[in-house]
Amino acid sequence: MARFIFITGGVVSSLGKGLASAALGSLLQARGFSVRLRKLDPYLNVDPGTMSPFEHGEVFVTDDGAETDLDLGHYERFTGVAARNTDSVSSGRIYSTVLEKERRGDYLGKTIQVIPHVTNEIKDFISIGEDEVDFMLCEIGGTVGDIEALPFFEAIRQFSQDKPRGQCIFMHLTLLPYLAASGELKTKPTQHSVKELRSIGISPDVLVCRSEHPIPEKEREKIGLFCNVRKEAVIAAYDLKSIYEAPLAYHAQGLDQAVLDAFNISPAPKPDLSVWEDVADRIHNTDGEVNIAIVGKYVQLEDAYKSIKEAVTHGGMANRVKVNVKWVDAETFDSKDAAPSLAGFHAILVPGGFGERGTEGKIKAAQFAREKKIPYLGICLGMQMAVIEAARNVAGLTAAGSEEFDHEAGKKRFEPVVYHLKEWVQGNHTVRRKAGDDKGGTMRLGAYDAILTEGSRAAQAYGATAIEERHRHRYEVDTKYRDQLEKFGLMFSGMSPDGRLPEIVEWKDHPWFVGVQFHPELKSKPFAPHPLFADFVRAAMENSRLV
């Protein structure tokens, strides 16, 4: 049966709880244990699928088609364990399950209350698949003291009481602010945060303290004393150059040892950190750099493209080259020449997105990359825009567009090369959608197979002709236009196994121009860079030698 580690945060939000959880997961793996990581989010949305990327950052999609919090991306990137839809839950999902059960009459006339009905639902969620792994790490979103997080804190408190002694521990992350005027690190906010936690019955076993300055031994002792935590379990978390240094840095500070001590696991198995040493080596020992433009819409918030940024970095690591990413707002050249904004980059990436804003800019970016022979990777919307560009500017379909934003009604000669997909095959059943369906959870979501054309750029990059990648989209390139586009050199080099859905397109006479309908970035890891990103960065490097 699994041991449980509950991870909470205090003092301020955005402390890097997700990263600390992921790094701890990887350290436990390095010691030979199996792990699974979970995220419990207090907000009332049923899932992040309908939340704006500007507000909540990227939506991370799992193989089994769940739209989840971006922290699940960290979990996968650090542990390599594929997340499932049972690894992410929100208050909204918990409440909607409780209310469904109430309507069905499952509670047999009882009054429904936060304790025990909501807390029981949370506890049931936490224990799903508990027999499968050695450690289950559950991160609670938000900050201790948040009103909406209270049922989660209460549930994990109860959970630790329900289990035999020693099977659950609590890890709390806080911040030690630095007062420049007095040159001191202040421990009081941490003390208050722990006090808050203890007032709801949770006593942390491990404290992780974020700090911009070294924490003197004396301060660690003080924190331990006032927070009722062993001195060795007060772990310093300093800012890092790269997030991928986190496993080694946390190990050096004794995090994994403190966790194993809290569970009384002795002697602790020795860790094998060679994977992370190699990752660190690839970050620090690079030869050359490339400049890549990411032309998107949500560029003000980098978290909106979290996995893309990471996958590009992994591509750099695969080639031992430093990748400089510049975020370019596609909207700025929606109705202007794109060249001044895009000149000088060694490669261009157009990521996924929703809605019309910035799409003309993205089409221009695809055109610029095609004409100037600059490596181009188009992801989901970035592929759709590349196809529209090819249709309009090469194949002579000047009215080409997407049903997502060019509405037939207003246009006489509209060519919907990208159309609203209403029926497709998943495994051995057919999925159907209608135009007015609910927005949440109704896209083509999760892992689907694709068959690649032998000898194509894509097949070369993958080193395979059968692949499986994750999807999240409502619209699709129409095969009706395939022959016409292929005649002009745009190859449909990846298709769904039934041959109905284009998965990859690429320009034949171009150094590297690939559009993919899926999201390869979601499966890239620092220790296993995604083949498309590795090859894209390689092409960028080659291009950098030419200019």
| Residues at the site binding ligand GLN, with contacts judged by CB under 6 A | 352-354, 380-381, 404, 472-475
The distance of closest approach from Cβ of residue 499 to ligand GLN in the complex, given in angstroms and rounded to an integer, is: 19
CA distance 259 to 84: 25
Neighbouring C-beta atoms of residue 464, cutoff 10 Å = 11
CA distance 350 to 312: 12
The distance of closest approach from Cβ of residue 522 to ligand GLN in the complex, given in angstroms and rounded to an integer, is: 11
The distance of closest approach from Cβ of residue 446 to ligand GLN in the complex, given in angstroms and rounded to an integer, is: 13
Neighbouring C-beta atoms of residue 441, cutoff 10 Å = 15
Q: Report the residue number, 364 or 473, with the smaller CB distance to ligand GLN.
A: 473
Where do runs of H (alpha helix) occur along 181-305?
Answer: 188-199, 217-227, 246-253, 255-262, 274-284
Active site residue 521: yes
CA distance 482 to 491: 8
Active site residue 138: no
Q: Residue 87: helix, strand or coil by DSSP? A: helix
Q: Report the residue number, 59 or 369, with the smaller CB distance to ligand GLN.
A: 59
Active site residue 519: yes
Q: Report the residue number, 36 or 472, with the smaller CB distance to ligand GLN.
A: 472
The distance of closest approach from Cβ of residue 433 to ligand GLN in the complex, given in angstroms and rounded to an integer, is: 12
> Residues 471, 473, 519, 530: which is the catalytic one?
519
The distance of closest approach from Cβ of residue 74 to ligand GLN in the complex, given in angstroms and rounded to an integer, is: 20
Handedness of CA 475, 476, 478, 484 (dihedral sign): positive
CA distance 144 to 269: 33
**Torsions phi, psi for 490 (to 5 deg):** -90, 105
Which helix (H) or strand (E) segment holds residue 71: the answer is helix 71-79
> Residues 76, 360, 506, 521: which is the catalytic one?
521
Q: Which residue number has the CB closest to ligand GLN?
A: 352
Q: Report the residue number, 70 or 207, with the smaller CB distance to ligand GLN.
A: 70
CA distance 45 to 145: 20
Residue 168 token pair: 């659950």
CA distance 137 to 25: 7
- Strands 423-426 and 490-495, how do they pair? unpaired
Q: Report the residue number, 357 or 487, with the smaller CB distance to ligand GLN.
A: 357
Q: Would you report the helix, strand and coil content of the chain in percent, each value rounded to 5? A: 40, 25, 35
Instruction: Please check whether residue 9 is in contact with residue 239, taking contact to mean a CB–CB distance below 8 angstroms.
Output: no
Q: Report the residue number, 38 or 482, with the smaller CB distance to ligand GLN.
A: 482
Q: Report the residue number, 317 or 532, with the smaller CB distance to ligand GLN.
A: 532
- Strands 178-179 and 184-185, how do they pair? antiparallel
**Torsions phi, psi for 469 (to 5 deg):** -135, 165
Task: Report DSSP letters for 489-503, one per residue.
Answer: TEEEEEE-TTS-SEE
Instruction: Please check whether residue 488 is in contact with residue 471, taking contact to mean a CB–CB distance below 8 angstroms.
Output: no
The distance of closest approach from Cβ of residue 21 to ligand GLN in the complex, given in angstroms and rounded to an integer, is: 26
Instruction: Please check whether residue 416 is in contact with residue 402, taking contact to mean a CB–CB distance below 8 angstroms.
Output: yes
Q: Report the residue number, 372 or 474, with the smaller CB distance to ligand GLN.
A: 474
The distance of closest approach from Cβ of residue 419 to ligand GLN in the complex, given in angstroms and rounded to an integer, is: 10
Q: Report the residue number, 370 or 473, with the smaller CB distance to ligand GLN.
A: 473
Q: What is the separation of C-alpha 56 from the centre of its chain, rounded to a whole number of angstroms?
A: 11
> Residues 380, 469, 471, 476: which is the catalytic one?
380
The distance of closest approach from Cβ of residue 439 to ligand GLN in the complex, given in angstroms and rounded to an integer, is: 11
**Torsions phi, psi for 19 (to 5 deg):** -65, -45
CA distance 223 to 117: 36
The distance of closest approach from Cβ of residue 404 to ligand GLN in the complex, given in angstroms and rounded to an integer, is: 5
CA distance 328 to 418: 24
Please give the positions annotated as active site: 380, 519, 521
